[in-house]
Amino acid sequence: MLDNPLNMTMFPNASPETKEGEITWHVSGFRETFESNPEAYFRKVCTDDGAPVGFALWTLDQPALHIRFDKKESKADAVRIPGSLDIFAWREISRRMTSEKRRKLKDLTNV
């Protein structure tokens, strides 16, 4: 996942030193999605012989991406945004993906 074009666009300044923070940031976002959206689905993606190659996460309606603190979570427990994240690229990619999702689902029901 760390060497794919999407991640490389979002983290253009990634380095071995920033890798752990980037992984932690991704995992915290997945955790938040699962906790806040019961309609979220997560599946392991494998080759024909069963070797794992990645994962897929999708939702029918996901809240806007933002940083927030739940009542249960203190600022000390919050995950810091990695310095290697290009926030402009992250927001633009998210905006375009949301736009494409809306375009594709425009006239569909019961998806």
Residue 111: predicted pLDDT: 59
Helix and strand element counts for the chain (H, E): 3, 2
Residue 60: predicted pLDDT: 60
Can you tell me the distance from the alpha carbon of 34 to that of 13, in angstroms, rounded to the nearest whole number?
A: 28
pTM over the 0.85 mark: no
Residue 67: predicted pLDDT: 45
Can you tell me the distance from the alpha carbon of 8 to that of 1, in angstroms, rounded to the nearest whole number?
A: 9
Tell me the pLDDT of the chain (111 aa) as tens digits: 677 888 888 899 999 999 999 989 888 887 887 787 777 777 788 889 988 887 777 766 544 444 444 445 555 556 788 889 999 998 998 899 888 888 888 877 665
Within the chain, residue ranges assigned H as helices are 5-10, 19-36, 87-105
Closest by alpha carbon to 54, among 102, 111, 6? 6
> What sign does the CA torsion over 60, 39, 8, 49 have?
negative
Strand pairing of 41-46 and 52-58?
Answer: antiparallel
Are 42 and 57 in contact, with CB atoms under 8 Å apart? yes
Are 89 and 9 in contact, with CB atoms under 8 Å apart? yes
